[in-house]
Amino acid sequence: MALDEDEILNGMSEADLDKLALDLEEMDPDNQLLPAGHRQRDHTKKDATGPLDREKLLDFIEEESKAVEDREDYVPFEPGQKRGKIFQQLEKTQHQKDMDNFKMDPELEECLANATEAEVTDIAAILGMYTIMNNEQFYESQKPENAGKIFCTEGFSATTKCKMNAMPANEPPNPTDVEATLIKIQENESDLTEVNLNNIKSIPIHTLLDYCEAMKANTYITKWCLANTRCNNVVATALADMLKINRTLKVLNIESNYISADTMTTVVETLETNDCLEELRIDNQRDQYGQKFENDTVAIIEKNTTLLRFGYHFKMQSPRNAVPNYLMRNLDLKRQKRVQYNPSSVVTSSVAKK
């Protein structure tokens, strides 16, 4: 059945006709041949409220622009002639010179020289430089079933490069003999009561694991410092196993390393059963610890009665206020035990006051 267009148009109201005309005009809004202001119909039907005439204003602006002469260059252009301040490269500072002369151990340099670009990016991600990998690649590499796989196959060309800050070359090295000290620990020598391995970054992971295993049976060492020794989660897990057995160590420092929040929680959880550790320092790790770690740490320290110092800067206000109270409680408990086992000191002090 054919439609009678004239009959349909005659039956439409004035508003319907206006809407139809608007739709017909907007059938091709992307016509590149028309100016942007002409591609759509003006929907406003209000009359002008003032004497402003848009067309006259545009004509006036055009005439003014033509009347103003162009400003001439004071110095004419000449090809090949340099003007202004010529760039001169700044002289390198002493720190930059130290960075250029920075050298690693020959063994590490050989490993890095033979490593592929994808392996280097994975190593950088393990060290905490997560911008070498994108988020998806990083979280996939953390899954247990993907252990040992390489995810960043593009290398540095498709990711953001990170700048590594080297330690100053004039820093004095740690004189501790790592191998000789390990032998003394294994033989449980009585003259060795403190072990300082701070800032020795060349200690292999298997050697640190041997230290943890030897410390389980050692009965003389009371202080062990491992700050800035590149300890990772594997070493931290071995430290946690050691703290469950060792009952001689009183001070443990593992600051400035590469231990994640979950693994550090395993180390802190040993305080629930360890009744001899008095000082534990874990601050300044490469991984950032969050609210869950701080709340779990406060709950663990609340149950401990021997810890006197805890080296960690809490970011939340509540744990930062609660932990010092628990440490003061432990100090008071230690004082009460000392008075209980040595009552003569109390009598002497009271007589001295009189």
Q: How far is CA 28 from the centre of its chain?
A: 52
Neighbouring C-beta atoms of residue 205, cutoff 10 Å: 13
Sign, CA dihedral 144-146-150-155, equals: negative
Instruction: Kindly tell me if the per-residue pLDDT of 127 is higher than 90.
Output: no
User: What CA–CA distance (Å, rounded) separates 126 from 233?
Assistant: 10
Residue recorded with tokens 């004095």:
172
User: What CA–CA distance (Å, rounded) separates 270 from 237?
Assistant: 11
Whole-number pLDDT of residue 149: 65
The domains found in the chain, sorted by start residue, are 104-158 (no CATH), 180-340 (3.80.10.10)
Closest CA to 228 of 266, 283, 308, 186: 283
What's the average model confidence in pLDDT over 12-24? 79
Provide the pLDDT confidence category of residue 134 given band limits of 50, 70 and 90.
low
Instruction: Kindly tell me if the per-residue pLDDT of 130 is higher than 60.
Output: no
Residue recorded with tokens 């033989």:
187
Whole-number pLDDT of residue 14: 84
**pLDDT > 90: what percent of the chain?**
44
Instruction: Kindly tell me if the per-residue pLDDT of 171 is higher than 80.
Output: no
In tens, the pLDDT along 265-296 reads: 999 999 999 999 999 999 999 888 989 999 99
Mean pLDDT, the chain, integer = 81
Amino acid at 268: V
Instruction: Write down the pTM of the prediction.
Output: 0.52
User: What CA–CA distance (Å, rounded) separates 243 from 245?
Assistant: 5
Q: Are 159 and 130 in contact (CB under 8 A)?
A: no
Q: Are 189 and 160 in contact (CB under 8 A)?
A: no
Closest CA to 154 of 125, 132, 126: 132
Provide the pLDDT confidence category of residue 158 given band limits of 50, 70 and 90.
very low
What's the average model confidence in pLDDT over 318-342? 89
Q: Which of 46-55, 199-208, 259-268 has the lowest mean pLDDT?
A: 46-55
Provide the pLDDT confidence category of residue 166 given band limits of 50, 70 and 90.
very low
Whole-number pLDDT of residue 163: 43
In tens, the pLDDT along 45-88 reads: 777 677 778 888 899 999 998 898 887 777 777 888 877 787 88
